[in-house]
Amino acid sequence: MQLATLKHRTESEDSFVIDATHVRVRFHSAKNDVEKVIVHYCDNYLPLNQAKTIEMTKIGEGQVEDHWGATLEAPFHRLKYTFEVIGNDGTSVVVGDRAISSDVESALMEDGYYFKVPYCHDIDMVKTPEWVRHTVWYQIFPERFANGDKSNDPKNVKPWNPEDHPGREDYYGGDLQGVLDHLDYLKKLGVNGLYFCPVFKAGSNHKYDTIDYLQIDPELGDKDLFAKVVNEAHARGMKVMLDAVFNHLGDKSMQWQDVVKNGPSSRFAGWFHINEYPVEPYHDPLQGEGNPQFDTFAFEKHMPKLNTANPEVQDFLLEIATYWVKYFDIDAWRLDVANEVDHHFWKKFHKAVTDIKPDFYIVGEVWHSARPWLNGDEFTGVMNYPYTLQIEDHFFKHKLTADQMTKRLTDQLMKYRDSTNAAMMNMLDSHDTARILTVANGDQDLALQALTFEFVQKGSPCIYYGTEMGMTGGNDPDCRKPMDWSKEDGPVWQRVHELIKFRLDHDETFGKGTIKLHVTENGLIEVDRDGIESVKAYFNTTDHDVKIDCKDSFSQDYRNGVLAPKGFVITVR
């Protein structure tokens, strides 16, 4: 047995309280190396001869590890536990808090070998909002969704043309009135969460270079109109998520312009990370101009980075964060470039918004492993790119085999607690990426197959505006074409509508149930979801028909017991 591969961490994604009397534990071993894992456990103050045992279930197979799981009872709200591991080679060891021991009988009777849960504190539990498990998000890029009010169109607005290829500076006149006019459309489509790209006053069409966080951009509308959008969305059972850029300001903001004018004597000089003066003209290292005078998002001179360790900046940003919750009743924040802001600030942010609304949803934009932010006191979840990009790498780009993808996705699931996985935000495309139909080389069946695979995963699925219309687009800014309203109720629309309905009809299982991924002997990807019902989904990503006999609850290209390439069949029992 490979002792170096036996792993468990306390108070982490490997050991977490799920209620006052239950603790979920995970254990990891080398692939195909361990026959079984037995947990010995009891209350911290009971003698070890009263310890109970439970055999762990193999909950998944990763790239190099087998993952095991068990739920332990803690009737007195405390627990100690250790692992007896039996290898395929017949050897046995105890993997404990202080050491690994081959003297199994002795180790099981020694308190020092037991991991401890000192008390199941409710306040320390990583909780995620119940409603997120029952939400399908729809991402709206306001300037490109619908033009409901031509009176606020910017100068040089272009004709609304879904076939156009937008430039970075182009405007088409989309606004909040356009969203309000189409709320019944979104209700008909079936989504119940609206994620808005920034709506605050800014100097661009994308609004990520904020000038004033306490104003709605006049090109989109005003506060009264925004309040109406929120209220009307809520009346239709939809949650509302706004996009916040707290990593940086726009260079047209009052604060940055004061720094430009007054240099080190500006009262806002400490709001930014400034290396030398004057701050203009900007030295762009990408152009070989030397070191920049101030820190920015990437090397974008129009986006000077905020110093979120400065108490004045903290107060400024927390006022914004709470203002839109208190006075407009938004339900969630999506946080742009969230990984580049300090943890100290995000902890304050989390407390500020959840003090107002305990079930508030906080989503960070983090494109890599996000463990440090997901311990219950910063973000609820993140935009789950490390998960969904691997789906694209198999379904669209063929960089991964089905077996490689399922193992990598399983490893990703092991990085976070169950409640966190259930609150991740899953998307296959967004305003930052090429559209899925384009990545799928125009193959609509393939795009919808991958979208369905996303919808049966743990986490809250999100579709980008226009996916239901079969819109195409390359990388930013081409993915931001004006919405194609001519395709409403068309064949692609109907299929996306049916997918959303299927997800929400079974959201108790999809939102809360367990998940297991593997590849069948005949090459199909199988996703097993178990909750109040059993859901089995099969996806054919091979190049040939595959015979499979199962009840058809929802499918694509499945006929007479044969699943065609790019097809799927889902059965619910």
Q: Which residues are catalytic?
A: 336, 365
Peptide bond into 477 cis (omega under 30): yes
- Concatenated DSSP letters of 309-366: TSHHHHHHHHHHHHHHHHHH---EEEETTGGGS-HHHHHHHHHHHHHH-TT-EEEE--
Question: What is the length of the chain?
Answer: 573
**Element counts in the chain: helices (H) and strands (E):** 15, 26
List the one residue out of 342, 387, 517, 377 whose CA is nearest residue 11. 377
375: tokens are: 């311990």
Q: Crossing angle of helices 385-395/444-455, nearest 10°?
A: 140
CB 179 within 8 A of CB 142: yes
Alpha helices for 27-136 (secondary structure H): 104-108
Q: Which residues are bridge partners to 297 per DSSP?
A: none
CB 526 within 8 A of CB 518: yes
Alpha helices for 440-506 (secondary structure H): 444-455, 491-505
List the one residue out of 457, 407, 399 whose CA is nearest residue 427. 457
What's the chain's Rg over C-alpha atoms?
Answer: 26
**C-alpha span between 399 and 381 (Å, rounded):** 27
Could you count the other beta carbons within 10 Å of the beta carbon of residue 44?
16
Residues sharing a CB contact under 8 Å with residue 1, sequence separation 6 or more, in sequence order: 33, 34, 85, 87, 88, 89, 91, 93
Burial 514-523 (b: 16+ CB within 10 A, else e): ebbbbbeeee
90: tokens are: 């017949």
Phi, psi of 487 (to 5 degrees): -95, 5
